[in-house]
Chains A and B, each alone.
Chain A
Amino acid sequence: MPPSIHPVDLILALRDKHLTPAIVFLTSRRACDEAMQAFDHSQVLLPPIRQQAIAAVLEKVIVQYPSIAEHPLIPTVQRIGVAAHHAGHLPSWKIAVEELMRHGCLDAVFATTTLAAGVDFPARTVIITQSSIRKSRDFTDLTIGEVQQIAGRAGRRGKDLVGFAIVTPSPYIDLNVLTKGFTGHPEAINSQFLISYPMVLNLLKAHPLDQIQPILAKSFAQFQLNQRAEVLERKLDGLREQMEPFGPRVCTDWITEWQTFDQVRRQKSHRAPARKHEPPEITARFHFLTPGRVVGIGRSRGVVLRQYRSKGQKSPMITALRQGGGITESPASTVTEVSDRVLDCVDAPVYPWCTPESVEELLRHLEELPGRLPELPILIPKEDEPIPDAIVQTLGDFACPTCPSRSACQRDYPHASKLRQEQQRHLKSIQALRTSLWHRFQGKIDVLQEFGYLTPTAHLTDDGEWARLIRIDHSLLITELIRAEAFNGADPAMLAAVMSSIAHDDDRPGAFPRVSSGLGSLLGQVRKLALSLSPHEDPPLLRADIAAVTERWIGDPSLTWIGLCKSTTMAEGDIYRLLARTLEFLSQLHTLKATHPGLADTASRAIANLRRGVLEELP
């Protein structure tokens, strides 16, 4: 049995049951392209009338988007009435496929699930071949909402009486995720309120500091935090009721009084308090020293392969893969730094505790990591604080031993103190829920003050006035580069190239042209600055090969799109997206014309060069 149905058989089966047109969602672009290739050797041919209909629609699209006139997929699409639609294609080609689909010219489109939201065309049938989706480097199960978005493409209003969502298995499928998705209610959605530097600058431009908190309070984030706080407040009300019988007794705060008394009493009875042989910070850290965690050991760096406790002393130990390839066993106490980075590793039950491929992979990642990594914030629980000697000596001063409510206190203390602890925990959480946005905002203010974009009274400095116009990712790096005059003397091609290496966040490898030496040294400078800013802003990938693609396109106006595509292994659609993102970044630099006329001018010349051929077709 093949692990999944052959694309040609799939389409034939669908045609046979009148289930076309269909959208077939596949796991990857490659799967889509391979499906298309599978038809090249098949005898599935469209009748001439349908071939002509396709040609007629394409002709109209080509008038508007001449770049696809020579598209290599046109003959296949026309012959078999099936097309692929994914992010590796040019937008104009995707528009052509959508147009064909709207006219009912195609039997099927092979698309990737990643773009389910961007696929704005329905069909009679949707084919689902997977239950998880790649999201930033890892696969996660589809949510109910996502399954319904995908399946929901089936059934066109006015053209279908019913729609069909058909699951066909592939090796990684989990049917339960899909059946739950079909039959369940979509999940509630949650706010994802990221506070960015440009947000802080723009808010402070328009409003004085003391008005910021009420503005943040208007966010959906705060609305949802308040909902959680209200739940806790209701719990608090309940606790308050339960606490009623434990109100003031002979002393107003009998719980604390009894607690201190009780502790002192116990401490006296055990002369030597039990010593924990393990400092709490080691215990707290040990939880995080799991396979794949990047740590600092002494002065070098390593990746944890496993954690265990030593046989005799039961002391916490780790096995780590060190820079250079050594594998060492070290006590957890020698770990000097726990980073927030966890690398993928496939663990194995015997030494070296992960697969040999993993070791290689880990080593490679280890070498590629930036010099500084953000540290994982680890909360260290406080050790039971010893009672100050002064109190111990005053045991005789406690009223408890002779107090009339002593037995009641002794009886009630465990329950009452638990209630009170819970109360205090809730109070703390509520406090945190109410103020967390503001604290995060203040954190950003601190950084902007440190760098001189804000005055100590949180007004915009001269630099802040223009920096607020840069409202893209990595804004701090870009504004710092401008302040360091890094772009002085850079030509449009170099400026655009640097912007594209900042904008590009895909680490898919490929073969690319080389950078010019001028660009190479400029990128070196950018990289250094990006690393120094890493405590405040995640550094971008800054790939030189990506920069080179942009440099060629801008630097050589006679270069054709085909010529550019040939110089790299990047897919057409990816090059397009790279340049479109670069355009966005450049257009932000262009808004600085009042304060940085030279830079703005270089940016606008770069934009003019960039917007040609394919890149001119769409707004």
Chain B
Amino acid sequence: MGNEECRKTGEFCLDPRTVYLAPDFVEACVQNNRLFVKGNEAVAMAALEAGCRYYFGYPITPQSDIPEFLSRELPKLDGEFIQAESEVASINMLLGASATGVRAMTSSSSPGISLKQEGISYMAGSELPGVIVNISRSGPGLGGIDASQADYFQSVKGGGHGGYRIVVLAPASVQEMYDLTMLAFDLADLYRMPAMVLADSVIGQMKEAVVPHPRPAVDLPAKEWAVQGKGGGEQRIVKSLYLGDGELEAHNWKLYAKYEQLRGKEVRWEEFLADDADLVVTAFGSVSRIAKTAIMQAREEGLKVGLLRPITLFPFPAQAYARITGRCKKVLDIELNTGQMIEDVRLSVTKDTEVFFYGRPPGAGSLPTPEELLEQIRKHY
């Protein structure tokens, strides 16, 4: 089984020449070690490099490139690809595989992620790692397939029952699709909890250059909790049911302590031209990219505008907001929804900071342009 193989770090498991290429780019660009791939493909590539050999999914637009890529490549690596009968089944397959200690992944888009919430809650309760990718689309309900950030609440606040959190990473480039997918596996293993990569069809469908890298050497704890058959040793149990007096409360405090640890150690964010800014724009994922161009245009007009982009949505980089708004008193929050992250932004800025909001509820034709965001910047500057 490819499992031992995939524990190796510092070494590629895949020959980029044979693997990374979309069919129409057979001899693609291994130029300067920069591969020109779609965001979704970068996720799949990184999962393989991270040692993930188990994928469970169900078709849904706009993430199907991920299962399509993996259905082609996993068999070559002795891995398992299962197209499950539903998202409910696929998240529970992930739960089962993760419980045995292997690295495993599922991916979907918003309606499918809703169905996975039960399983995610059980994984959180059972302290199981596992990576969930959401190439989110517009809702509610069937909604549409356009890029959306309307799943912020669902992802960040614990989308299922029981008051848990999961790691949520928000890539804004194809390179980050690669890097953060890899990081998601490490954080999931380090903290024994599910980790989500939250992107949308802009980041998933666009192509950029990626510098692939092998799995970094991270000191990961041994998975002594993983079920593998007693083999003469102690019995191991993976569960979330705690009925004894005080047991469940203690369990919840233990989970809470991990969330606090994450808040202390794992926050990541990007600042762009923020040091001297009089107005700081804040946005994540695809919208942060659109905002960047608007900010560059604003700078050309002499407006001192910068960007604060959370990379980890949970843990939220509250400290970055506190520090920046110690000096800059105006924040413009931009989202592809009617206002979700803004609640965390408001809780994180200094008291006398004004927080403005500009949002577009997702749907066909509602992706804002840099020119449109520049208007907003001028208005609030």
A binds B: no
| Chain B residues within CB distance 8 Å of chain A | none
